[in-house]
Chain A
Amino acid sequence: MLKKIGAVLVVGGGVAGVQTSLDLAESGFKVYLLDETSSIGGVMAQLDKTFPTNDCSMCILAPKLVGAGRHPNIQLITNAEIKKLQGEAGNFEVTVAKKSGYVNEEKCTGCGICAQKCPIEVIDEYNEGLGVRKAIYLKYPQAVPLVYTIDRERCIGCGTCREVCKADAIEIGSEKETVILNVGSIVLAPGFDEFDPNLKSEYGYGRFSNVLSSIEFERILNASGPYGGIILRPSDGEIPRKIAFIQCVGSRDAKIGNNYCSSTCCMYAIKEAVIAKEHNPQLQCTIFFIDARAYGKEFDAYYDRAEGEYDVRFVRSRVSRIEERPSSSNLIAKYVNDKGPVNEEFDLVVLSVGMNPPKHAEDLARVLGIELNEYDFCSTQTFSPLETSKPGIYVCGAFSSPKNIQESVAQASGAAAKVAGLISQEKGTLTTVKEYPPEREVSDEAPRIGVFVCRCGINIGGVINVPEVVEYVRTLPDVVYAEENLYTCSQDAQKRILETIEEHNLNRVVVASCTPRTHEPLFRETVRDARLNIYLFEMANIRDQCSWVHMHEPQKATEKAKDLVRATIAKARLLKPLPKPLINVTPVGLVIGGGLSGMTAALDLAKQGFEVHLVEREKELGGNLRHIHYILGSEDPQQRLTSTIKEISENEKIHVYLNTELVDVTGYVGNFRTTLNCNGERKEIEHGIAIVATGAHENKPTEYLYGVDERVVTQRELEEKLAKGDFEARTVVMIQCVGSRNDERPNCSRICCAQAIKNALKIKEVSPKTDVYILYKDIRTYGFKEDFYREAANKGVLFIRYDNENKPKVTQENGNLNVLVWEPVIETSIPIEPDLLVLSVATIPNPDNKRMAQMLKVPLTEDGFFLEAHVKLRPVDFATEGIFLCGLAHSPMFVEESISQACGAAGRAMTILSKETLEVEGAIASIDENLCVGCGLCVSLCPYRAIEKDEKGTARVIDVLCKGCGTCGASCPKRAIMIRYFTDEQILAQGLAALGRTPHD
């Protein structure tokens, strides 16, 4: 066997690829992150908002992209594709072809002057063709890496960019280069491609200007999109009053071969309708749909709000055709409702396009030797959702099945855990830990400030009189050195800063240039190299927030720049070196709950060599999996259960505690101490992280004669019967949404539709003559499960829709069960006399969640499930660091989803456990215990539980948990809390200096 390699190749720089890369890099692996385009970010970077929280997509994504771009152990390889693969799991050699962008990535400062001067306009793909870019371009303003690229197809080679580039970054070298990467494992996250709506010619996309795809509409909604956030019709620039959204364009469509459901379109259409209404409350939005697949956590609540609060109209009908009225370019949607055919006019039509596998899926599969499924998505198994058919190559995100952001992110962390399990011994072998010289003690010195003012080519220097600013700065107190640079961020300028610090014995450094959001880390590193604490550095933003926004007022811009630099210097004078202490990490995990999720998480941690305590309340492991006897697909769940339990018992790293409950949890990330009650015996364990996998329960219904008539059973009870072979019935009726999607529990239980279909298919298998009726609200067989829905329908399972106003009525008459259901198509009530009535009951949260939540100090949703830190980007984290969640404790989900999340939780946990020590952020809160009166306000305000009261009742910051937001300090009744690096004194000095006053005024 070849020697394993501690490096990983991640293919695809969308949100999933970025998350995998960050988790792996944080855990000690070298990561190559490859993207076929010029920057990372993927589709999420194009989105306006994300459901169900309506979070601004770029706001939450950009920090992650910057993080990946600057991570010392992540190397971005853009404009690249894989050409060849050799080797085996643990030791692969990958040949990558990298297209040149003709811009030196080291030298380009991203200033953008080249694009400004480029004479060639090109249709902008990022804005879906609705705007323009230049032939030298950045995919989008926040792009990472911040390096311009020449679009060779469009560039005429006029050389203007080369002439205007002050950084000399344009380099005309060879068109392609070949890169050989040696990696231990590969994670595939190439995402998806949008379905091409041209293929649905009946909707007129491409022929009618006012028929748009959903992603085009997403760009239109975006404030920085082509229309500046005003919704306009492309035909004439008018603001539409009536918009139709058409669902399932390229999904659930046998004609075009995409039988599957794209899983996300219902929700994103609802989101787009809601956001459009927010733009323009008079707007009428209509969504034409077949089944509203709002299956995820709190999705139904969002759906309800769209209908109730936002007045979005939902029409359950498939639009057969769109026609254009040539005089007005309005569109006529032809559909059928319960009254007959309808022609309805709209100003704009948005096609909710589905997800296709990525264009290059087949090439990728051939080169890598992995299997694709019948739709050309990556083939995976239910019990190994993150593994491709080839050992050592893992998959996450939409490439394995259409899925939303949160599930992609959870899978991404899961794939990272899988990789780590494979090459854990190589952790840290290829990563670089930068060594810094010891810090110089400056506390006793008077401030000696050095100021570097950047011209940014002509970006700053073309507007602001930089020499004048430098001259002015020299007159300010404590400034001992000032100079201007062509590009302060260039490598030679960094060297100069370093030397200048030494030469002039500077102890504070101010750079006046662009934004700290992208460049602060770079300068901090430079001052640190010069033996200064990083918090002795501060930045003034005289480009993005000055020269660029006052281009026609050079004088005012110069005055403003002086004010901004003066204010920054005023703050810099008060800067203090801040310690970044290290805390030890106990490399041990605690997993709470021994069901499928808990066992999976425990195994994944153990495979990486971490000790794990696995705590289970019941007398045996397995949880809900013990009741699952077959699945949609070919695997045998009971066999998997047995083998998993065996694997756990054989793994000496895992300590299983049965009949055990948690009694008390203290401590914080890296250093938890938990008291267990094992069979009445107390035991204390120490651990660095905790994973909550406490599962959920099947609700016991109180309606439809359940418990009264023994012919009324739950799906699980039916499954038990089928598995034991004592099923016998001529007519079976299944009722969906029993206890879900009602007033008491507004949300969907997600798994019951597929569960019903699974059991219906089983019935048809063992007893083909049995009539099966499924009474449903919406059939939510998303993703590839749609195939089983179709199969069930083909095998004669009858699906009858009902709604809350017309729920089925179940009675007992003459010893017979009688179900009366309203059939909406023929508008009559149909009586059915089943021998068996099966209820698809709700999945309800574990009743113990409340107690557990209090003990761990983590929140619950209104429904009583655990509430993650961020729905989209931190789906398996709690806000409290070091605690994670997965599986049914999070929300109802399928086996493969539970496994993905469990691996995800293990992946997130490993980023902590892999470190011997955690570095504490320096810019955090600290409490003056002499001033604190112990009122506890800060404790209740802190979202991270980073403040606790000590024995004396005084509040104390748990440094490692504090994120430095500063809300506690601004709120403390006694003003006893100092926010380091943003102290009252510093902010005040900065503000007063900006106003031209000194703090002594």
Chain B
Amino acid sequence: MMFMPKIIGFVCNWSLPVGVDIASSSSIHGYPKIRIVRVMCIGIIDPSIVLETFAKGADGVLVIGCHPPDCHYIEGNLQAERKIKMLKKLISRTGLEPARLRLDWAYASEIERFTKIISDFRNQVTALGQSPLAGERPDTDILMNIKAAKAATEDFRLRLLVGREIELTEKKNMFGEKMSQGEFDKMIDIAIETVYLRNKIYLFVKNGPLSIRELSKRLNLDPRVVLHHMVVMKQEGLVAVSEVKGTTPLYSALGEARC
């Protein structure tokens, strides 16, 4: 049986070609299994929703907005671009193929382009095959990674940096200076890595106390790096040493439970 990818398309209200019937959008121009979610602007798509969509088993997520610099809401599309860029970086860390996520531009008038985007993406996803998170037995490791990535997108710090990217790289910062894109990327890469890892560590220790060594094994990461993150997480009150086994402190997540 031919693989039919499940694809979710988030499409800007102002990009959606007239006549596309969302209600029956599962069969736009004969391409089945594409569900379109219409949004007023792709700028409002929260990165966590994209990841949630993958977690639920979507084989691909397609985001279509207006061509820059046009945007009904000034720069919602550009903000979305930054978010997708960040998301791709995050997803690449999870074991899921970042190519399952795509952003493209179209005007409502460009029905052909619109169709082509969908068909290209569909081909791309088909080539990738079924998402490891789809079906009855999703890959638990990747699922956990996606959950960590999702938590990372909810992190204040990452949201803030993504939200400020345009301002910092194209306009001026507080000191009236501009940051090069390279500089910014270097910084945000570190932030993405940091926030993702911490959330992953948190998810691990939420399931039960673990040592730095054990975490390092599971994360395939230098224990020194794990310890460093644990120190910060401890400072932030997210984890604590719950017991010491011999010479090995075990860390647990501090939940919402009363302290």
Contact = CB atoms under 8 A, between A and B. Distances in A.
Determine whether A and B are in direct contact in the complex, meaning some CB atoms lie less than 8 angstroms apart: yes
Interface of A: 117, 119-121, 130-132, 152, 155-160, 162, 170, 172, 209, 226-228, 230, 232, 234-241, 552-553
B173 A157 contact: yes
B173 A156 contact: yes
Interface string B174-189: 1111010000100100
Contact of B248 (A131, A238, A553): A238
A119 B157 contact: yes
B175 A232 contact: no
Given A157-B173, A226-B231, A227-B231, 20 more contacts: A119-B157, A131-B231, A131-B235, A132-B231, A156-B179, A157-B179, A158-B161, A158-B164, A159-B173, A160-B160, A160-B164, A209-B224, A235-B223, A236-B212, A236-B213, A238-B213, A238-B249, A239-B247, A552-B256, A553-B258
Contacts of A234: 224, 227
A162 B174 CA distance: 9
Nearest to B187: A156
Interface residues of B, number: 39
Given A119-B157, A209-B224, A236 B173 contact: no
A240 B175 contact: no
B161 A119 contact: yes
A235 B174 contact: no
Contacts of A156: 168, 173, 179, 184, 187
Given A157-B168, A228-B234, A230-B249, A237 B212 contact: yes
Contacts of A228: 234, 241
Main SS of the interface on chain A? loop
20 contacts: A117-B160, A121-B232, A132-B235, A155-B175, A157-B179, A158-B164, A160-B160, A170-B174, A172-B176, A232-B227, A234-B227, A236-B213, A236-B224, A236-B227, A237-B212, A237-B213, A238-B212, A238-B247, A238-B248, A239-B247
A89 to B, nearest CB: 42
Contact of A237 (B174, B223, B256): B223
Interface string B157-176: 11011001001100001111
A132 B173 contact: no
Q: Which of B184, B212, B230 has the most C-beta atoms of chain A within 10 angstroms of its own C-beta?
A: B212
Given A236-B216, A237-B211, A132 B244 contact: no
A131 B232 contact: yes
B146 to A, nearest CB: 23
Interface in B215-250: 216, 223-224, 226-227, 230-232, 234-235, 241, 244, 247-249
B194 A121 contact: yes
Contacts of B191: 119
A249 B227 CA distance: 27
A241 B160 contact: no
Nearest to A553: B258
A152 B176 CA distance: 13
Residue in A155, A159, A162, A237 whose Cβ sees the most chain B Cβ within 10 Å:
A237
Contacts of A553: 258
A237 B227 contact: yes
| The 8 nearest A-B residue pairs measured at CB | A157-B173, A237-B212, A157-B174, A236-B223, A119-B157, A239-B247, A159-B174, A237-B227
Contact of B177 (A121, A157, A160, A237): A157
B156 interface: yes
Contacts of A552: 256, 259
Contacts of A152: 175
Contacts of A117: 156, 160
Interface of B: 156-158, 160-161, 164, 167-168, 173-177, 179, 184, 187, 191, 194, 211-213, 216, 223-224, 226-227, 230-232, 234-235, 241, 244, 247-249, 256, 258-259
Nearest to B165: A158
Contacts of A239: 244, 247-249
A172 B174 contact: yes
Contacts of B247: 238-241
A600 B87 CA distance: 73
A232 B230 CA distance: 12
Contacts of A237: 211-213, 223, 226-227, 230, 248-249
A18 to B, nearest CB: 28
A233 to B, nearest CB: 9
A119 B232 CA distance: 14
A155 B223 CA distance: 28
Contact of A158 (B174, B213, B224, B258): B174
B173 A158 contact: yes
Nearest to A170: B174
Nearest to B211: A237
A242 B231 CA distance: 22
Contacts of A238: 211-213, 247-249
Contacts of B176: 172
A235 B227 CA distance: 8
Nearest to B230: A237
Contacts of B216: 236
A545 B181 CA distance: 44
Contacts of B230: 237
B82 to A, nearest CB: 14
A226 B235 CA distance: 8
Contacts of B177: 157
A553 B232 CA distance: 23
A240 B246 CA distance: 10
A236 B247 CA distance: 11
A115 to B, nearest CB: 12
B255 to A, nearest CB: 11
A130 B231 contact: yes
A158 B231 contact: no
Contacts of B235: 131-132, 226
